[in-house]
Amino acid sequence: TSGVIYARSSKLGVENVSIHRLQVLDDSTLAIRLVPRHLYKLWMAHKMEKKDLEVSISVGVHPAVHLAAASSPPFGVNEFHIANSLLAGELKLAKCLKVDAYAPAEAELIIEGVISWEREALEGPLVDILGTYDVQRMQPIVEVKAVTHRKDYVYQAIVPSSVEHKLLMGLPREALIWEAVSKVVPEVYGVRLTMAGGGWLHAVVSIRKQREGDGKNALLAALAAHPSLKHVVVVDEDIDVYDSEAVEWAIATRFQADRDLIVVKDVRGSTLDPSSDQERVLTSKVGVDATKPMDKPKEKFEPATIPSTSRVEGLIESLRKRLAIR
Amino acid sequence: TSGVIYARSSKLGVENVSIHRLQVLDDSTLAIRLVPRHLYKLWMAHKMEKKDLEVSISVGVHPAVHLAAASSPPFGVNEFHIANSLLAGELKLAKCLKVDAYAPAEAELIIEGVISWEREALEGPLVDILGTYDVQRMQPIVEVKAVTHRKDYVYQAIVPSSVEHKLLMGLPREALIWEAVSKVVPEVYGVRLTMAGGGWLHAVVSIRKQREGDGKNALLAALAAHPSLKHVVVVDEDIDVYDSEAVEWAIATRFQADRDLIVVKDVRGSTLDPSSDQERVLTSKVGVDATKPMDKPKEKFEPATIPSTSRVEGLIESLRKRLAIR
Amino acid sequence: TSGVIYARSSKLGVENVSIHRLQVLDDSTLAIRLVPRHLYKLWMAHKMEKKDLEVSISVGVHPAVHLAAASSPPFGVNEFHIANSLLAGELKLAKCLKVDAYAPAEAELIIEGVISWEREALEGPLVDILGTYDVQRMQPIVEVKAVTHRKDYVYQAIVPSSVEHKLLMGLPREALIWEAVSKVVPEVYGVRLTMAGGGWLHAVVSIRKQREGDGKNALLAALAAHPSLKHVVVVDEDIDVYDSEAVEWAIATRFQADRDLIVVKDVRGSTLDPSSDQERVLTSKVGVDATKPMDKPKEKFEPATIPSTSRVEGLIESLRKRLAIR
Amino acid sequence: TSGVIYARSSKLGVENVSIHRLQVLDDSTLAIRLVPRHLYKLWMAHKMEKKDLEVSISVGVHPAVHLAAASSPPFGVNEFHIANSLLAGELKLAKCLKVDAYAPAEAELIIEGVISWEREALEGPLVDILGTYDVQRMQPIVEVKAVTHRKDYVYQAIVPSSVEHKLLMGLPREALIWEAVSKVVPEVYGVRLTMAGGGWLHAVVSIRKQREGDGKNALLAALAAHPSLKHVVVVDEDIDVYDSEAVEWAIATRFQADRDLIVVKDVRGSTLDPSSDQERVLTSKVGVDATKPMDKPKEKFEPATIPSTSRVEGLIESLRKRLAIR
Amino acid sequence: TSGVIYARSSKLGVENVSIHRLQVLDDSTLAIRLVPRHLYKLWMAHKMEKKDLEVSISVGVHPAVHLAAASSPPFGVNEFHIANSLLAGELKLAKCLKVDAYAPAEAELIIEGVISWEREALEGPLVDILGTYDVQRMQPIVEVKAVTHRKDYVYQAIVPSSVEHKLLMGLPREALIWEAVSKVVPEVYGVRLTMAGGGWLHAVVSIRKQREGDGKNALLAALAAHPSLKHVVVVDEDIDVYDSEAVEWAIATRFQADRDLIVVKDVRGSTLDPSSDQERVLTSKVGVDATKPMDKPKEKFEPATIPSTSRVEGLIESLRKRLAIR
Amino acid sequence: TSGVIYARSSKLGVENVSIHRLQVLDDSTLAIRLVPRHLYKLWMAHKMEKKDLEVSISVGVHPAVHLAAASSPPFGVNEFHIANSLLAGELKLAKCLKVDAYAPAEAELIIEGVISWEREALEGPLVDILGTYDVQRMQPIVEVKAVTHRKDYVYQAIVPSSVEHKLLMGLPREALIWEAVSKVVPEVYGVRLTMAGGGWLHAVVSIRKQREGDGKNALLAALAAHPSLKHVVVVDEDIDVYDSEAVEWAIATRFQADRDLIVVKDVRGSTLDPSSDQERVLTSKVGVDATKPMDKPKEKFEPATIPSTSRVEGLIESLRKRLAIR
């Protein structure tokens, strides 16, 4: 399962809210997956001083809380503030009973506990966004101190590798890519992390191109903005990034591999991709510039439309009437 | 529009049936698009002798006739024989009235005419399978001699770039690719020319891989089997070639560009692809080997399945009963 | 040594004839090299049922029988039928005495035996077509049941790595390459598997080129047609594929590596090449397009000829007469 | 020459301050180089409405004003606000006499004028940061309305291609690169745009590397952050980016071209580089990862130090005393 | 035709002997092909001063004279001295009658003349070493002053593109390559410029390899030693460079393209290769390292030999006796 | 420490002088680093016959002796002869007392000894020219027989990795590169092995370019001339090879990576480079052609100069006078 986890380090003067995978080990302990990001930093700081880290784990929260917890603001920003903004100031927090922590007042279920500074357990194998099993790892343990919940509470699960899982992880990354590409090309029209790429590995970006090399610069910017990205396609503004058929059609008719392809090997990627070198976290990245080349007439690349005549329009009109179509 | 065209060269002792794009020029003449294949050969042979080539043009025929006419048997094979086989010997042909030619008896509309050995006209611009406008070309002319049709005949059109158009062109090529790949790998499970690639430029092939290099050999075989092919992806047998999401997922989790990618530049491709060098008919081809590498454990690449327990099954069963699901 | 081996699987309803390397182990047993092709399939089917496979081994047969046994028709085709066709129906077969098998009546020596379903022996090291020693492998054993031969029989041996050995193996492959290349270019003029490449790894193909990319398509087709191929050169129709000097001259004067070279790495090749990764059967393949580029005047690439004048011809004529040359 | 130019668009509700190259045409007109950035946008907006754009041009200002004007905040931010922050609120602005514009009160020389919406002139050839002559272009014209200056004013010139010129342009870019690289690696230690690269084309970045691929991700991030960048080297934290010898030493001892080099061709670069395709603004970019590989012992890559012993220290001590060195 | 040409520049204090292509224009003028080397330098020096250059042209000389004239010693070395060494001091020179020049006393035919400083003529088209026609060029003219010859003299012609032509040009280059490769590998065993490569474009070098990279260093040295070289193969010492079959066999069994191939594009090559960019004299060069890899057992790459036993040797002996073979 | 070592092999009839690294093991033994060159050959010849090799080791010699000993003339040339030439015949040699060897009479310190044919010791870890520690190796031992020195002798040490160390090693290599490049381009203007590359791995060469490909040929020649070279840059004659800034500026403004870069991988390099494969002595080499492309106007690549007017010159003149500048 997973939950929204709040922790505070009085020493660092920092509060943090994030989502983590939790594995029930027994009635009073959970294994928690900590990737080396903010909560990991807090835990490490406590580990140095041989102190457990007090946390609250909230299950069943407002989508705004989920989204805020999934975003990556700079270290030190309390993600509950972001959620509060998204909710127009309506987020209510409750003080925990047994630990020094806060949790959304309206959460269906709140687990209070501490992340042990010394105990670890073998976590996994669990399914990740790509739908394959992640490797097993030694991970810290949460010792449960108290559990509170609403009456008839609803248990909200994020099914691993479900669309919800992918959207929560991918959405903040799409924003980062959008921002980065915006800085190098005149305009960005769309960014999608595809579901087939786990909402994480494959991106499609549509841009308005002004100069021949803009497509390649957009590729570099996207790869830099989200280091887990493996493959990225950039298309013109007439291609809808959510229409996979259209994107493939753009590749079929606007892309030439010897000119429009970037391959970068032995670069850091995602540990989730089983085809990569998962130990050294190295992968090969691909950029595909499927924008129209500017040295050929634009019309050659445009989809044909069925020309209309007044007679045809008349026929359609009468058909509509007869069929009572709106 | 387009029609199924029958022609016979008594000199070469050859009958041929094929589908061609026709453009109505006026009441008694049509421009006909002849690519340098079989009918072109017959016409050239007549042109050498300054003789017109008599033809029948059939519109509105049985799908088996369409399919046979779209296939590419060796020169000299009468495609009506193939259609007859597909129809279990039930194909009826009728002798034409004004020209020395045959046509399916049950065709909705039959145009009798001759392809002039000397007159040509500017054909196009017309839409091709990729949905873009083909270039204009000087093409031969069909002089209409007679038109016969059924009462209340149905005019069967192949809308350019429609699914029907793509299937008719692509299906025989899928068979060629299947056959060629079968010769180099243990087993082929599926071949698809995607709609987004116009049923012509992009293929997906699924195979059972026995040795590490099988995927690359399959790529070479596919590219050789259908010279218009631009991009081809090969996947394992657990991936459904008709499921684009699954194919993309295989690329995301099983492909590494520095190891699994083939790029061949300046090779003959299709004239239809506007991104290619259409004058010299040169393109860059790409092969993507998205099969599982054999030096890593197989399980790493398999999609996780939700494990079932008797309790879960009991729950599902009772739910089904309550909801009266079959 | 080696022999033409006939086997029949009544269970599969299949007869097969092929040539295999045999190593004399002692008076009544031979080791037999079975690559995973047709006879291997028959043997595996019997192995599954724990039954020995009855075979006849013929030594000293008509060249047509050799050639037929060396060809690779689809599984299920009895190669003796092919030999019979080549011999215009004159092939006589004799029933074996101790096993359920047939052999050419005129063979110098016939060994009757069974391929044991369970016994194997270490075969090798033996010399292969490349003239190097093949690796040692565990291989099945033939238990000899009977030996019959003509009086004063001639023992026909195929010396490993001899020209005869290479021709028998290579000839059917040349046919496959010819056929495959014919499908992608206007005309094929010659195909040779060179002796220096063991009649197996190196091919030269001459074609008539119509469009710039034809050479590269021919390369892809050749590589796909014979997966053991490692290097292939394609030349114009004015180059004789049997004249190695002419082929090299074409490379010297018509080939530019940055434009005309294809390299495909990590693809399945031949186990015989010691430079390859013989365990994973991976090699790097090379295609060399040594056809004339079409964007330069044709004359630049043509060998100069010594111009003749009537005076020179007169001189030659008189010289010939004086020297009484034919 | 060049000056700090203030402009306001009441229509867009936007103020902008930036530095532009100015060429004296005659007593009352200057040609102004407008690259398609913020001031260009304001001018275009006025040009649409056929109105001149009122501006103040300040020469001889406080370095903080120069730096602020050279930075690239988002469109709409008044760079005088930035300068004011840098000066701790001490920036004084003066209202212009003849145009609706402001200028730093303490500027040595202030030119008031309008950028004509319709008049253009041929600007150049002038020297740019790379020390070569920039191409000539048609550029807008500033019509001078008034000139005010201090008594005995100092004319502050930015000599083209001088260190000052390069620092003013490069400094804000170094900040952008620092920020972008920080997002993909654990820590950034230094960023330099080298003088030899015009403070614009060549960057050196030093990072603390945690995983093997970090160097390459840093390269991609740097290239994306400053699209004019042509070459970038990334080094470990023990290398001082301002010590060119040390950077070259790192390349000599820690870099292997087949593994650590990125080349991206046909990507948008800087128009200033004469070796690039200046018409289509396409260049080839290079990333050099000169960080220590992590699969070899760290000590191999460390510079040797002269080991010290107590005897040596004693000797040095006595020498120092004798020589009365501090 | 061609001749051995002697010229002296009293101004430069330099004598030069070289072989040049001569085209008979009429009874008293010849066109002479001057590539920008030593004789060209002398002619240019005279042209500057508007003076004709006096020369002797010798046809029918001792092979040692031919070889010396074909070699490329540093500017200023009189090649007649080299010939004299080769002939152990036996070279006799004769003073010319009409011009200030020397020629071998025993030459069959000596033409005395001057290379005009101002007259040029269109030379060609003539056949060059590759057997194709060289392009036409404006070249200087030799004005004939006197012709002397032996009684019943033999006219010695170098047939263009003949083996003799190629050997004369190639031999000195083979020596240069031998010397250069010797400096980078332990030992050189053979160097051949192949006839099919015109004795000019293609080299084979055999070396004793001590370390893995020696083959590649040999390739670089060969390419640097003879800038007209286009393709070079390096083999081990067990391969005879004059046995093309053996060289091809080494490529088949010891070369892997992804590891052992060097391609350098856009480098200066020979103007004679029609496939190159003859205007800018740019070509693509290829190095093939066909030496045995050192990370595999040596025996795998050795040709098998037929093992001999005393019985076999006895049989051969008795056969020999019976057949009275020497 | 290190010394100039003289040895004579009466058997080979060869004298040799060279510089070697020596490590003091105890009062009477030194470890000596022998790379497989001339002295190593002499020692091996003695080792074969189980004889020690007598040597003199001179410390504190005239720079001409140092330089001569550091050069690499062919085997058999006594480097003292070279030193004698450099000193115009003024080199005085002294006969050793205890061993059959000579040494410069004016050396500060002379060690007489023998290199043992059988004793070896672990040498290192010592610092090499790149400033990193060289690996430890078993090396031969010098047994000291006698030590003679001047009164109040000066101990001359070559500090490892100092400029002196690099110059002594690099200077003779610069000469080799100069000579090799001279053979393939019209003129060489400068060659430098940079200090940052240890005077060994990185070269800069400046040439006068006549044809487009000259830069690349210079790169190949440099790489072939000094096999330890790793990176080489070639620049035009207007760039001073000793001005690193100017070289980098040339790369910034005249180099395009897709056109001007050569990378050769898996080639033999220097064992000193820790980033290389030091066991198999394989490295990747890079050539950078930073010469001006010839298809663009030359002026585009020239540094701008400040134009002078008579008024400016007058001003400068008067300023000079006033300031009394020479």
Q: With an 8 Å CB cutoff and a minimum of 3 pairs, decide whether chains C and B touch.
A: yes
Give me the mean pLDDT over the C202-224 stretch.
Answer: 95
CATH class of D2-149: mainly beta
CA angle A211, A216, A217 (to 5 degrees): 80
Q: With an 8 Å CB cutoff and a minimum of 3 pairs, decide whether chains F and B touch.
A: no
Going D152 to D153 to D154 to D157, the CA torsion angle's sign is negative
With a CB cutoff of 8 Å and minimum separation 6, the contacts of D304 are F127, F131, F132, F133, F160, F161
Location of structure tokens 């009086």: C151
User: Does D211 lie at the interface with A, CB-CB under 8 angstroms?
Assistant: yes
Closest CA to E56 of E10, E99, E89: E99
Interface touch B184/C214, C-beta < 8 Å: no
| pLDDT the model gives residue F218 | 97
pLDDT at B280 over 70: yes
Cis preceding linkage at E125, omega within 30? yes
Return the higher-pLDDT residue of B294 and C166: B294
| pLDDT the model gives residue B288 | 97
Average pLDDT, chain A: 88
Closest CA to D55 of D146, D130, D120, D127: D146
pLDDT confidence band for A217 (50 / 70 / 90):
very high
Interface touch D213/A280, C-beta < 8 Å: yes
Gap from C228 CA to chain B (nearest CA, Å): 10
pLDDT confidence band for F307 (50 / 70 / 90):
low
Residues of D in contact with A216 (CB under 8 A): 264, 266-268
Interface touch E223/F224, C-beta < 8 Å: yes
Residue D217: which of A183, A211, A267 has the nearest Cβ? A267
Window 293-312 of F, Cβ < 8 Å to D: 293, 296, 299-304
Helix axes C163-182, C214-225, angle to 10 degrees: 130
Percent of chain B at pLDDT > 70 equals 97
In this structure, the strands spanning F109-123 and F137-149 are antiparallel
pLDDT at C324 over 70: no
Interface touch C263/E265, C-beta < 8 Å: no
pLDDT confidence band for C275 (50 / 70 / 90):
very high
Using CA atoms in the order B208, B211, B216, B219, what is the torsion angle rounded to 10 degrees? -30
pLDDT at E315 over 70: yes
Gap from D183 CA to chain F (nearest CA, Å): 27
The number of angstroms, rounded, from the C-alpha of D178 to the middle of its chain's C-alpha atoms is 13
Domain extents in chain A: 2-149, 163-301
pLDDT at E215 over 70: yes
- Of the listed ranges B251-265, C163-177, E280-294, F234-248, the least confidently predicted one is C163-177
pLDDT at C13 over 70: yes
pLDDT at A23 over 80: yes
Average pLDDT, chain E: 88
- Of the listed ranges C103-107, D306-310, E281-285, the least confidently predicted one is D306-310
The set of chains that have 3 or more CB pairs under 8 A with B is A, C
Residues of D in contact with A172 (CB under 8 A): none
Gap from D167 CA to chain F (nearest CA, Å): 16
pLDDT confidence band for A70 (50 / 70 / 90):
confident
Residues of B in contact with C226 (CB under 8 A): none
Up-side HSE of residue A219: CA atoms within 13 Å toward CB?
28
- Region of residue A249 (left: phi > 0; alpha: psi -120 to 50; beta: else): alpha
The number of angstroms, rounded, from the C-alpha of E288 to the middle of its chain's C-alpha atoms is 21
Range among D41-50, D160-169, F71-80 rated most confident = D41-50
**Other C-beta atoms lying within 10 Å of the C-beta of residue E63:** 12
ipTM: 0.83
Return the higher-pLDDT residue of A278 and B158: A278
Backbone angles phi, psi at F32, to 5 degrees: -125, 130
* pLDDT tens readout for residues D23-33: 888 888 999 98
From CA B65, how far away is CA B84, in angstroms rounded?
8
* Active-site hit among A27, A100, A128, A277: A128
pLDDT confidence band for A316 (50 / 70 / 90):
confident
Gap from C101 CA to chain E (nearest CA, Å): 34
Residues of F in contact with D252 (CB under 8 A): 130, 196-198, 201-202, 230-231, 273
* pLDDT tens readout for residues E72-87: 788 888 899 888 988 8
pLDDT confidence band for A306 (50 / 70 / 90):
low
Contact between C203 and C226 (Cβ < 8 Å): yes
Q: Which fold has domain A163-301?
A: UbiD C-terminal domain-like (3.40.1670)
User: Does E232 lie at the interface with F, CB-CB under 8 angstroms?
Assistant: no
- Of the listed ranges A62-71, D116-125, E148-157, the least confidently predicted one is E148-157
* pLDDT tens readout for residues A96-141: 999 999 999 988 889 999 999 999 988 877 788 888 887 788 899 9
DSSP E20-84: EEEEEEETTEEEE---SSHHHHHHHHHHHTT--EEEEEEES--HHHHHHHHS-PPTT--HHHHHH
Residues of A in contact with B198 (CB under 8 A): 252
From CA B273, how far away is CA B282, in angstroms rounded?
10
| pLDDT the model gives residue D311 | 76
Percent of chain F at pLDDT > 70 equals 98
User: Does F175 lie at the interface with D, CB-CB under 8 angstroms?
Assistant: no
From CA C280, how far away is CA B295, in angstroms rounded?
9
* Active-site hit among E26, E27, E100, E128: E128
Gap from F295 CA to chain E (nearest CA, Å): 10
Location of structure tokens 């069963």: B317
Window 122-151 of F, Cβ < 8 Å to D: 127, 130-133
Contact between A234 and A177 (Cβ < 8 Å): no
Gap from D181 CA to chain A (nearest CA, Å): 8
Interface touch B264/C262, C-beta < 8 Å: yes
From CA E147, how far away is CA E201, in angstroms rounded?
36
Residue F268: which of E214, E259, E268 has the nearest Cβ? E214
CA distances from D12 to D43, D46, D79, D146, F235 (A): 11, 10, 16, 25, 50
Percent of chain D at pLDDT > 70 equals 98
| pLDDT the model gives residue F310 | 75
- What are F90's two structure tokens? 């003024």
pLDDT at F325 over 60: no
Contact between E113 and E123 (Cβ < 8 Å): no
Residues of F in contact with E212 (CB under 8 A): 266, 268, 280-282
Return the higher-pLDDT residue of B233 and D19: B233
* H-state helical runs in chain B: 38-48, 63-70, 79-86, 163-182, 214-225, 244-254, 257-260, 310-323
| pLDDT the model gives residue A12 | 81
* pLDDT tens readout for residues E112-135: 999 999 999 988 778 788 888 877
Contact between C208 and C175 (Cβ < 8 Å): no
Interface touch D184/A280, C-beta < 8 Å: no
With a CB cutoff of 8 Å and minimum separation 6, the contacts of B134 are B124, B125, B126, B127, B128, B272
Give me the mean pLDDT over the D53-63 stretch.
Answer: 89
**Other C-beta atoms lying within 10 Å of the C-beta of residue D72:** 15
* pLDDT tens readout for residues B26-64: 888 999 998 878 899 889 889 989 999 999 998 888 888
Interface touch B258/A245, C-beta < 8 Å: no
Give me the mean pLDDT over the B195-206 stretch.
Answer: 93
User: Does F44 lie at the interface with E, CB-CB under 8 angstroms?
Assistant: no
The set of chains that have 3 or more CB pairs under 8 A with C is B, E
| pLDDT the model gives residue C307 | 64
Give me the mean pLDDT over the C106-125 stretch.
Answer: 89
Gap from A278 CA to chain B (nearest CA, Å): 11
* Active-site hit among C128, C236, C260, C273: C128
Interface touch E300/C132, C-beta < 8 Å: yes
* pLDDT tens readout for residues D189-200: 999 999 999 899
- What are B95's two structure tokens? 């002798």
Interface touch C195/E245, C-beta < 8 Å: yes
User: Does C229 lie at the interface with B, CB-CB under 8 angstroms?
Assistant: no
Closest CA to B25 of B120, B129, B107: B120
* pLDDT tens readout for residues F127-185: 788 888 877 888 999 999 999 888 877 777 777 777 777 777 888 899 999 999 999 99
| pLDDT the model gives residue A36 | 78
pLDDT at F206 over 90: yes
CB pairs under 8 A between D and F: 136
| pLDDT the model gives residue C53 | 92
Residues of B in contact with A255 (CB under 8 A): 275
Window 261-280 of F, Cβ < 8 Å to D: 261, 263, 265-266, 273-276
| pLDDT the model gives residue B221 | 96
* Active-site hit among B128, B134, B236, B273: B128
Residue A133: which of B130, B247, B304 has the nearest Cβ? B304
| pLDDT the model gives residue B191 | 96
Residue of F nearest to E212 (CA): F280
